Each structure stands twice: as C-alpha cells, then as structure tokens.
Structure 1
Amino acid sequence: RWVSIDDVAPVLMHSVIMSEDGQFCFHRGVDLGELRGVVDDALAGEATRGASTITMQTVKNLFLWSRPLGSVRKVVELPLAVYFDAVMSKRRILEIYLNIAEWGPGIYGIEAAAQHHFGVSARQLSRRQAALLAVSLPNPIARNPARPGPGLRRLANLIERRAGRSGAYVGCLD
C-alpha cells in the first residue's frame, strides 16, 4: 500500500538517506564526486562500488528495471535522474523511492516492509527498526532486518548513529 511521506517515521527517512545517499539533499540527482570515484577505480582496474543516488535508483526502478543493463542503462539513467531532480522536490523523490523499493523477497514499499518485518506501520518504526531496514536496501533478498546477523547489526549501529546526527544532511525534507 502506498503511503504518504507524512505517514513515514522521520527516523526512517533519515536512516535511508544516511545509508543510501548521504549527499541526497545537496546533489542534483547525480553525485558527481561518487561517480568520479567509481570511474577512477574502474580505469585503475580496481573493484568498483555503487554510486547510484536515491534519485538514480528511483528512476531505474520506475523506468529502466527491464531495460538495457550495465553501462547502457547508466547512460540513460544519468540524464533522467538530473531531469527528475529538476522537476520534483527531494521530498517527493524520497516518497516515491520508499514506496517502490524492494525491502525483502517480494516485499515492495515501506509500509509493507514495516508490517512484514516488524508488525508496525511505517509511521511507528523505531530508530533501531529504521536503521535495520535502511541497511537491508542494498541487498534486500539476502539481508533480513527482522533477523540480522552480526554484520548487519554493526551496519545498523553505524546508521542509527549517523541518522541521529543527520541535521543538514536531511534539511531538504523540511
């Protein structure tokens, strides 16, 4: 069920931003610094990390999920993310993202995730639950926020602390 961002616990929004895209409020859809780092790593023959912003992930999930893969998709995704960021508020982008993201096998949307994993509404998520959900996003099939292993618990501890000090990093949501 789709939920308004007004019906999502702020701590969940803060946790997701701090876990997935710490520069969300400052970039224009694409984090050029992160993207540059990935390109530099690739050119140096090193393993690359993800550089997708929340906006890029939203665009991919909305428009490109069954389209070309890899670098071809990125070529389409980048300008779409910049456009999306230009025509929508950060608050609206995050609302869409939270409602279409996969939070577990066959679990789409934050309300379904909160209910499935913790038996509460998205509005009632605790700081700990929010952090556990946020750190499950990169691999929602393998990471179970309701039964976290030691590694997931450590990540959640870090995100819980960062979300508590997020301040200006989440200022675009006001």
Structure 2
Amino acid sequence: MAKSSKKTTKTSKAKRRFRPGRWLLRWTLRGVSVVFLIAVAATLLWSVLNPPTTFYMMQESRRLGGVDHEWVDMDEIAPIMARAAVAAEDANFCLHWGLDVVAIRRAIDEGSSRGASTISQQVVKNVYLWHGRSWTRKVMEAAMTPLVEALWSKRRILEMYLNVAEFDEGVFGIEAASRHYFGVGPDALSNVQAARLAAILPNPKGRSASNPSSYVRKRASSILDGAATIRADGRARCFQS
C-alpha cells in the first residue's frame, strides 16, 4: 500500500513538473490571439464609425497648435477626386487584396520603395499606426492590411484615405484641402483641381495645388489621363457606385 502511494506521488509530481517550452508556447499563442482579436475589433469599429483623428494628426496638432480637418462622406466628394487619387497612388486598387505584389517586385528591382505602398497600406499606416521608417511598423502594416481589405469595402478604404491624408502642413482630409487650396467644397472640385490635389501627394508639404510648379502641372495632366483610363477599363468599379 505504501509503495502504491509513493508511485502516485511521483506521478503527480511529474505531471506538475514545469516545462518552460510548453509554457512559453501556450502564453505566446494566447498573446497572439488577444492581439488578433483587438485588431479585428479595431478594424470593425472604423468600418462603421469615422475616426475623429489619428495618431499623426494628434502629433501635428500638438506641434502646430491645431489642425484643419473635417470628415466628409464619399457621396459628398466629386467622383473625379476619387479616380484621381487612385490613378495617382494606386492604379490597381480594385485588383489587389491590399498588397500589390507586382509593384513591390518592381520597386525592389529598381531599388526603391516608391510605388510599392498601396492605398490600403497607407490607410492602415495613417489610421492605426505611426509615420516613420521601421521594420516593426512595416510588419504590422503588412499584417493589418489584408484584415482591413477583408472587413472593409474598397469604397470605404478610399473614403478613409481621402479623409485622413495630409494635403498641406496641418491640413488633413479632402474637405479641408478643397477649401484651403480652392475655396470650394470637395463636391465642387473641377477635374483639374482634383488632379492637382492628387498630384501633391505624397509630398504635400513640398508642393502646392493652388500654385503648382511645372512638375505638379505635368503630373496632374498625367493623373487626369490615368483617371480617364481606369474609368474606361473598369478599374474604378469597386469604389464608384
């Protein structure tokens, strides 16, 4: 009887023996699950609600003493503005799932990062993350972008982009930008005005839409051609009703 009791005690101790590898794996999986659920919740939240601000806007507001920003729905934005933004920043917006592999490979071959970041990636960076070059942000951006693509419509992604993009120092979103540069609402933008607003991206602090340089004029003309092309070949269908 005593021998049996000793065997039971040894077996019990063996079961309770600490296994660091298993413990680490268990808590890693739990941590990943929590992070994933938080990301899903945050993505679902902004799929139906409009974010009042972003981390970068708050930074700029503190630095400048305030920023100009007002949300406007996609229905109140001239359709040409949406097409111009896509033509300028991500012509294959309707064809990819958030990461444009072809553009990424081309950028790598050319030794440049320009052209590899899609509108969806820029939305994730602007709404959920922070500005700056770091592998941590890039990895988080790449992980969250497919989630946003899965839970948001393309129209919602583009609406978000146009409302949080920076168009001048302290000027965020197409509503503020339209009035800042041209004194009109975003619904009244002409083709040329929309193309010039798209042309100052992604360097709004170094370019002007109302007083365009020869480069901005040339780029705006190219953007208008691109906007007409994506409308004709169907690459604007995913965001235009």
What TM bracket, shorter-length normalisation? over 0.9
Equivalent position amino acid for 1:141 in 2: K
1:14 alignment partner in structure 2: 83
Equivalent position amino acid for 2:77 in 1: V
Matches for 1:47-62 after TM superposition, within 5 Å = 47-62=112-127
Change over 3 Å in CA distance of 1:69–1:47 after alignment to 2: closer
Equivalent position amino acid for 2:84 in 1: S
**Deviation >6 Å, runs of 4+:** none
Number of aligned residue pairs: give it: 169
Could you tell me how far apart the structure 1 residues matched to 2:193 and 2:138 are? 32
Could you tell me how far apart the structure 2 residues matched to 1:78 and 1:24 are? 16
How far has the Cα of 1:35 moved from its partner? 1.3
Gaps of 5+ in 1: none
2:157 alignment partner in structure 1: 93
Equivalent position amino acid for 1:108 in 2: F
Paired-residue identity, %: 42
Matches for 1:127-166 after TM superposition, within 5 Å = 127-166=191-230
Change over 3 Å in CA distance of 1:56–1:104 after alignment to 2: same
Q: TM-score, normalised by structure 1?
A: 0.92
C-alpha distance after superposition, 1:103-134 (max 9, x if no partner) = 11110010000000000000000000000000
Could you tell me how far apart the structure 1 residues matched to 2:107 and 2:175 are? 33
RMSD over aligned Cα atoms: 1.3
1:40 alignment partner in structure 2: 109
Gaps of 5+ in 2: 1-69
Larger RCO: Structure 1 or Structure 2 (Cα < 8 Å, ≥ 6 residues apart)?
1
Could you tell me how far apart the structure 1 residues matched to 2:108 and 2:136 are? 15
Alpha-carbon contact 2:130-2:137 (below 8 Å) kept = no
